[in-house]
Amino acid sequence: MPRGPALGTPALSDPLVRERHRILHAVQDRLEDVARTAVAVMRTEIPSYALQDERFFDDVRDQVLTHYRMQLAALADDRNIAPEDLVFSRAAAMRRARAGFALEDWISAFRVGRQVLWDALLDCAGTSAEAQQAALSLVTPLMRYVDYASTHAAQAYVEYQQHVVADADRERRDLLDQLLAGAAPTRGPLLAAAQAYGIGPHSPMMAVVAVCVGDTRTGDPTSAEHGYAASASLSVAGPWAGRTLVVVRHDEVVAVPVVRTGMDAEDICAHFEAVQGRLAREGTGLAMGISTVAQGARELPRAYEEARAALDLVPGGGGVAALPRLSPFDYLALRADDLARQLVDPRVRALLAEDRRRGDTLAATIRAFAEADLNLRLAADRLRVHHNTAHYRLRRIEERTGRNPRRIADLLELLVALAIRDGAGEGEDGQ
């Protein structure tokens, strides 16, 4: 903080200097009353102050009096204000920040104090032209003092909040590290932190791992700003009570939601999918993997590895891969490598690629036929097409691929090829 502002006397005539000193001494004589008025106005105008007890207002009154005395003394003695003069104010700012008061409330208190002091100066000045001119000469130095003192206090607020945020980040990281080691904390600050998130040794939990894939509006590579935006959004509770442990860790964001009473894994998946979609609309592209449920801290390392593995299933542009929503068949198909794709008959690949361009009617028929347990009429009803149309589609599939969907082995091969195609996100060229 640089040296304080000059509050001294401007170039005034001797009569104006004398009048100015008269006003300052008159206010000094009634300073206790002026301070009580300022506190009463703060109590009325600042809602968070109105809720406090008399001990709090004794502290506020001491602060107001100290500020007033410093201003009047500096003006009377024609001297500047130095940072060390405001140590008392910095300590008070820390107390207010620690108690949870908003910075705007602290600044509002400065505004009220300034206005009440100015009203007192005008009242003591009187109505003569000389007195009014002397009073006006006090406006600029008083404004400089309030600006300097409030800036000094705001810096203390910011430093305290940065300290709190850093401590909270460190505590969350330490808690996550212990959970990912397979143990829930049993004592100390980490136990209290775990309890704040509803995490106990045997709490059912899931792991969510998200990585930023870029700005969805510009296509630019992602930045730390997107990571912290994602962290803030993921930490907000969904349709359940309580907070979610979220940590920005290396190049990923890790969340550990607790599956609370009355919830299931699908509730967790739906919530994080909604968050991913909202962030994408706002410009933050995320790829997100969601694990199955871990029954307690001992299983959380497994859940974390599952979530990281699920990330491999997300397309390059982002999205959500939620393992609770996948069958073993889906998972194996999504994990298929280039060799598995090459093993699909080229005729099948060509048909599915062409079908995708034409609206996926044959793919829908294959799925519906399998889900109807090879009952063609039931499949046709579900597709809302005539039985003959469904029959024609099956015959066309057999003619083009050499696979008869009515044979279990052939139908399974078609379903695998279809799952591999969808999991790979193949384009129209089938590549």
The two structure tokens encoding residue 286: 């995320």
Give the mean pLDDT of the chain: 83
From residue 17, how far is each of 21, 38, 72 by CA, in Å?
Answer: 6, 27, 14
Residue-wise burial string across 285-296, b where 16 or more C-beta atoms lie within 10 A, e elsewhere: bbbbbbbbbbee
Q: pLDDT of 343-397, one tens digit each?
A: 888 999 899 999 989 999 999 999 999 899 999 999 999 999 999 999 999 999 9
- In this model, does residue 340 exceed pLDDT 80? no
Phi-psi domain of 411 (left: phi exceeds 0; alpha: psi -120 through 50; beta: other)? alpha
Tens-digit pLDDT profile for residues 41-78: 999 999 888 888 899 999 999 999 999 998 888 888 76
Higher pLDDT, 280 or 207: 207
CA angle 118-122-128, nearest 5°?
155
CB 222 within 8 A of CB 212: yes
Q: How many CA atoms lie within 13 A of 246 on its CB side?
A: 18
pLDDT digits (tens, 9 = 90+) for 277-312: 888 887 788 899 999 999 999 999 999 999 998 888
**Closest of 303, 299, 309 to residue 331, by C-alpha:** 309
Measured CA to CA, the distance from residue 140 to residue 65 in angstroms comes to: 20
Question: What pLDDT does 391 receive?
Answer: 92
Q: Could you give the angle at the alpha carbon of 273 between the alpha carbons of 269 and 276, nearest 5°? A: 145
pLDDT in tens, 111-147: 899 899 999 999 999 888 888 898 888 888 888 888 8
d(CA 253, CA 176): 11
C-beta separation of 317 from 241 below 8 A: no
DSSP structure class, residue 220: P
**How far out from the chain centre does Cα 74 lie?**
45
d(CA 350, CA 344): 10
| Alpha-carbon gap, residue 308 to 110, rounded angstroms | 51
pLDDT in tens, 160-200: 766 665 666 788 889 999 999 999 998 888 898 888 888 98
Q: Residue 284: CB partners within 8 Å, gap ≥ 6?
A: 212, 215, 216, 222, 226, 229, 230
